[in-house]
Amino acid sequence: MIFACIAAGGTGSRMGLDIPKQFAKINLKPMIIYTIEKFLAVPEIDRIYIGCHKDWAGELQKMIEEFIPGTDRCEVIDGGKDRNETIFGCAERVISQYGTDGHIFITHDGVRPFVTPDIIRDNIITCKEHGSCGTYVAATDTIAISPDGKVVDNVPDRSTLYNAQTPQTFRLDELVSAYNSLDDNMKKSITDTCSVITLSGGSVRIVKGDYKNIKITTISDLTAAKALAYTK
């Protein structure tokens, strides 16, 4: 079976809103609804879990019922204290309901509403053929490395650099095994789910992303998202 986990557990504190940023509206519709709809547009996905802060879970359920009435593929669950805890909370829910063997597990940021169904499908196909994969776009800016934050000591070859996006997709049993192999310090260093695989010695296949598949984390991002939604 194929499962999706959308991490939507933030509270919006960094953006300065009085609601979680994933609930902010883009042209009259909550951002998280845009995101969920993209996954519902992929019929290969059997079930979609949305990890949400427990204080907002009821509100999210109401939004789903209002904007996506009649869907039976979505389940709102309590998110964790951070993204990783939310993702693996979703994994635990899948395991408790369906076991671990043979499943594909797609992870995505709730605040990336412009992911496309084609990117999601490409993740599924790539995972079936190669195992762990993530969505990436080639870096367009020069990246400088400065260990002390004062002096640049290295500028890596930009042609080898990629910006990570989501979705990121895994064989569920392999992801859980990789995570359990990490010590506590390694788990604390995880910045995205693909890091679980690379830190445990595995490899991650690249799926071509889209520069419009932005992560909305600031007010200026939200303004750009409203303009982008009008052009789609």
Which pLDDT score is estimated for 218?
86
**Helical pair 57-67 and 31-40, crossing angle rounded to 10 deg:** 60
For residue 110, the Cα-to-chain-centroid distance in whole angstroms is 6
- What is the C-alpha to C-alpha distance for residues 196 and 83, in angstroms, rounded to an integer? 13
Give the DSSP letter string of 131-157.
S-EEEEEE--S---B-TTSSS--B---
Task: Note whether 79 and 2 are within 8 A (CB).
Answer: no
Report residue 176 as tokens.
């859980």
- Give the span between the Cα atoms of 91 and 87, in whole angstroms: 6
Its domain, for residue 76, covers 2-231
- Verify cis geometry, omega within 30 degrees of 0, for the bond prior to 167: yes
- Residue 16 is predicted with a pLDDT of 63
Task: Give the predicted TM-score (pTM) of the model.
Answer: 0.94
- The pLDDT value recorded for residue 232 is 58
pLDDT of residue 138: 96
Number of domains in the chain: 1
State the pLDDT at residue 100: 83
- Residue 185's domain is classified under what CATH number? 3.90.550.10
Q: Are 160 and 134 in contact (CB under 8 A)?
A: no
pLDDT for position 12: 60
8 Å CB contact between 128 and 144: no
Residue count of the chain: 232
Q: Which residues pair with 76 in a beta bridge?
A: 50
Per-residue model confidence as pLDDT tens for the chain (232 residues): 999 999 998 766 556 667 888 999 998 899 999 999 999 999 999 999 999 999 999 999 999 999 999 999 999 999 988 899 999 999 999 999 999 889 999 999 999 999 999 999 999 999 999 999 999 999 999 999 999 999 999 999 999 999 999 999 999 999 999 999 999 999 988 989 999 999 999 999 999 999 999 999 888 888 888 888 876 5
Phi and psi, residue 195, nearest 5° = -60, -30
Quickly count: other Cβ atoms within 10 Å of residue 177's Cβ.
Answer: 14
Largest CA distance in the chain: 56
Q: Nearest Cα to 202, choosing from 172, 175, 169? A: 175
Of 5, 201, 181, the closest CA to residue 106 belongs to: 5
pLDDT of residue 101: 85
CA distance 22 to 63: 12
Q: What is the DSSP secondary structure assignment for residue 121, as one 8-state letter?
A: H
